[in-house]
Each structure stands twice: as structure tokens, then as C-alpha cells.
Amino acid sequence: MTTILTVVAQREATSLTPALLNQIRNAVRGAPPVVLSPGEAADIPLSVPLDHAALRAALGDKPVDAIETKPRGRRKAVLIADMDSTIITGETLDELAGFAGLGEKIAAITKRAMNGELDFKAALRERVGMLKGLDVGALEKTWEQIRLTPGARELVATMRAKGALTALVSGGFTFFTGKVAAELGFDVHRSNVLLDDGAALTGQVAEPILDRDSKLTALNELAAQRGVKLHATLAVGDGANDLDMLRAAGLGVAFHAKPIVAKEARARVDHANLRALLFAQGYPASAFVAE
């Protein structure tokens, strides 16, 4: 066995039929599939190099993701995850801006920053500056609107149960990462500090700003803390500020990512939910933990 091709479908669609699975297997000249979750995920062992063109042709426009990994060291000892549009479904700063009547304006800047068109630090300072004077109560109101991405709870709980160190590292704010980390059981959370005077936002964010370089630094530090090399780490994110840590991690996954990230990442999940990250490590659904 040279590599393993993990194919994962949208859970709700259960579109990974035996016929499609056999079609994919024949296209890539793989061994008999190992079903990880009926209709949702399977491993196809490969003894020949993956034929990417044949795989694309077999998948067509079906909502199925494919991630290639090496058999050795599939199960990772460190998980480092982005928060906005990854572990949660939305962008907290954009949603917070909605309470200032600036949702669309700030979301447009966020979109450009996450696609690498703007300097992250400058874009963050600009957006936070626009929120000067916003009542701090808007933070709690924003938290009430936050929704977890499907599969997030299983991803964190399962990896922790298997002994992994789990970290939420975000260019967002500690008000939210602290709550998300507590809700899901992340061991560590790192993010930016949004400043206020006790009643309203000051329009400033504490320095230094956690950015693209900081995420890569966090990955290295957490791997060292856990006593493992980078090949034993898993990173997931969707924005340009995640790219360096995705490239450096043993398994770096672009999750429903912005175009520049999807293009450059070695592994992507465009259709499935965060359960795909467990399947990519070889975990069957029967081994998942949900807390």
C-alpha cells in the first residue's frame, strides 16, 4: 500500500453509494474499499500513484470530497483549528458589525482579507476601528447567534478522547474563542483581544495582533508542547491567514475555503462537514465521540 484515498460525501445526502464507490475504486485502480460510514465515507488503499484526472472524472459534480494520506501516522496528536467559518459557521466580526449597522460594509472587507487581497493586520484594525462606540452588550448578542459547524463537536471530542492536544487559534477575538473552546472542550485557545472601556468598544484591538505568522508559530509551539513533529499535526482553516499553518501541518485541510486557500492547500473539504477530518485519519464513525 502506497497511500490511502479517503472519500467522504455530504452526510445528509448519503450519496456515496456502493456503485459510486466501486466506480471511484476502478478509476484510481485501488484495492477493495474499507467502509468507515455507510453512504458517507470509505478508505480506498492505493498501491499505484493517484490518477487525479481519473478521480475527477469519476466524481464529476457529485458532492464527494477526496483526501489522500499516507498509511503511517494517519492519526494526529495535535489539532489546531481556525474558528470563523471553520469551527463555527459564520464570521463573528461581521455579525458583530451588524449591531452597528455596518454588517455588509465590514463583511466586504473581511471577504477580501480572507482571500489574501488585503493585509490581515491592517484590515483587522480598519474593521475594529469602525466599531468604536458600539455597546459591549453586542458581544453577547452576537454569541447568541453563533452556530457550530456540523461535526465540530465530534472532531474535538474524538481527538481529545484519543489523546490529542486540541487548540482553537483564531484571528478573531478572545470573547468568542473562549466561549467556543469551553463549549467544545478545546484544550487551548488563542486569539485577539478586543478592547473596550467597560461600556463600549474603543475601536482598538490589543497588540500584537494574532495573524498568519502567529498561527504557524502556534502550530510549532503546540507540536513541541505535545512532544511530536509536525507530521503528527492536523490543521484546518478557510482563509488566507491559515495557509502557512495548513502547509506546515502533517495534514492541512482547507475547509469550505476561500479560492486562494482551496487552490493552494494539499487537502480540501468542499462538500462534507468536519467529520471528514476524522475519516481522513482512518477513524470509522463507530469510534466517534460526541459530548
What pLDDT, on a 0 to 100 scale, did the predictor assign at position 11? 80
List the catalytic residue out of 43, 51, 65, 82.
Answer: 82
Q: pLDDT tens for residues 32-64?
A: 999 999 999 999 999 999 999 999 999 999 999
Question: How many other CB atoms sit within 10 Å of the CB of residue 122?
Answer: 12
Question: Confidence band (pLDDT; 50, 70, 90) for 15?
Answer: confident
1-72 shares its CATH topology with 75-291: no
Q: What is the share, in percent, of the chain residues with pLDDT greater than 90?
A: 97
pLDDT of amino acid 22: 96
Does the annotation count 61 as an active-site position? Answer: no
In 252-288, which positions are buried (b, 16+ CB within 10 angstroms) versus exposed (e)? bbbbbbbebbeebbebbbebbbbbbbbbbbbbebeeb
Whether the CB-CB separation of 232 and 223 falls below 8 Å is answered with: yes
Phi-psi sector, 289: left (phi>0), alpha (psi -120 to 50), beta: beta
Residue 50 to residues 2, 6, 45, 56, 165, Cα–Cα distance (Å): 9, 12, 10, 11, 31
Catalytic residue among 43, 61, 65, 84: 84
Q: Which helix (H) or strand (E) holds 130?
A: none
Position 12 pLDDT exceeds 80: no
Nearest residue to 244 via CA among 209, 213, 208, 211? 213
Side-chain-side CA neighbours of 157 within 13 Å: the count stands at 13
Q: Is pLDDT at 225 greater than 70 in this prediction?
A: yes
> Please, which pLDDT band fits residue 14 given cuts at 50, 70 and 90?
low
> Which pLDDT belongs to residue 290?
84
Instruction: Tell me the pLDDT tens digit for each residue of 272-288.
Output: 999 999 999 999 999 99
Tell me the fold of 1-72: Alpha-Beta Plaits (3.30.70)
State the DSSP H helix or E strand holding residue 5, giving kind and residue range, or none if neither. Answer: strand 3-9
Rounded Cα distance between 138 and 143, Å, is: 9
Residue 244 φ then ψ, to 5°: -65, -40
pLDDT in tens, 129-160: 999 999 999 999 999 999 999 999 999 999 99
CATH code 3.40.50.1000 for 75-291: yes
Mean pLDDT (the chain, rounded): 96
Residue length, the chain?
291
Confidence of residue 1 (pLDDT cuts 50, 70, 90): low
Q: Could you tell me the residue ranges of all domains in the chain?
A: 1-72, 75-291
Claim: this prediction has a pTM higher than 0.75 = yes
